Structure 1
Amino acid sequence: MSDTSHTAYFGDAEYTFRFTSELIFELERKTGAGIGQLCTRVFANAFTHTDLLETIRLSLVGGGVAPKRADELIATYAVGRPLIEIQPLAIAILEARWLGKPKHEAARG
């Protein structure tokens, strides 16, 4: 099975971002869009603020961060930040789930 996680520095530390199927269902519910439509919106700069915030928040939970802590991280490091700072992270998270890690990256961990 392909690794669909993404690891990146966010706010105060490096975190793993991961979507399980259950969290994709929750993301679809929160954003009102299917995962394909959501990816299209985010990749094409036609996203809502909620698309970005919920992508990051829910994938933090999927990566092992407690839900309350994920909420705190989003409130502190995403809500008031320029969109150009948080969109690339949301794109990377969604790309990892959509495409999996490139073989050379997955081999490194």
Structure 2
Amino acid sequence: MTERTPVKQFFGDAEYEFHLPPDLVLELERKTGSGVGLIFRRFLTSEFGFSDLTEVLRLGLVGAGMKPADAAVLVTTYAARMAVTDLYLVALPIMDALMTGNTVQPVAKTRRTRNRK
């Protein structure tokens, strides 16, 4: 299995790395009361709860190396001040990387030609 690289996202006041290793996935499941598949499905169908978002962010910060207390302060400070959609847009790539092993890959640019008459 290839090691996933952390997801880099701007959150709150700076760009941070987020990573959900297996031990913290178990903690995510415990804190949300749902299995990881159900959490991801809620993300994809926009049926997530606010705590789904904040726990993904908090545990993702811890998984990338931030001290748990610092991660909790950061999430508490900024999450409540953000629009839920903005919070979701930070959390979704973290869950996507966990589930697919990838982050969004840039699309190769191709030159488009027009048919002129």
> Do the two structures share a fold, i.e. TM-score over 0.5?
yes
Does residue 65 in structure 1 map to residue 66 in structure 2?
Answer: yes
Q: TM-score, length-normalised on structure 2?
A: 0.83
- Deviation of residue 104 (structure 1)? 6.2
The residue type paired with residue 15 of structure 1 is Y
Unaligned runs of 5+ in 2: 107-117
Q: In structure 2, how many angstroms separate the alpha carbons of the residues matched to 1:71 and 1:53?
A: 9
8 Å CA contact retained: 1:24, 1:35: yes
Q: In structure 1, how many angstroms separate the alpha carbons of the residues matched to 2:105 and 2:85?
A: 28
8 Å CA contact retained: 1:53, 1:79: no
Q: Classify the secondary structure of the residue corresponding to 2:54.
A: helix
Q: In structure 2, how many angstroms separate the alpha carbons of the residues matched to 1:103 and 1:12?
A: 23
Instruction: Tell me which stretches of 4 or more aligned residues in structure 1 moved more than 4 Å.
Output: 102-105
Unaligned runs of 5+ in 1: none
User: Partner of 1:86 in structure 2?
Assistant: 87
Does residue 20 in structure 1 map to residue 16 in structure 2?
Answer: no
Q: TM-score, length-normalised on structure 1?
A: 0.88
- Deviation of residue 30 (structure 1)? 0.4
When the two chains are superposed, the root-mean-square deviation of aligned CA atoms in Å is: 1.7
Structure 1 vs Structure 2: percent identity of aligned residues? 37
The residue type paired with residue 64 of structure 1 is G
User: Partner of 1:33 in structure 2?
Assistant: 34
User: Partner of 1:96 in structure 2?
Assistant: 97
Q: Larger Cα Rg: Structure 1 or Structure 2?
A: 2
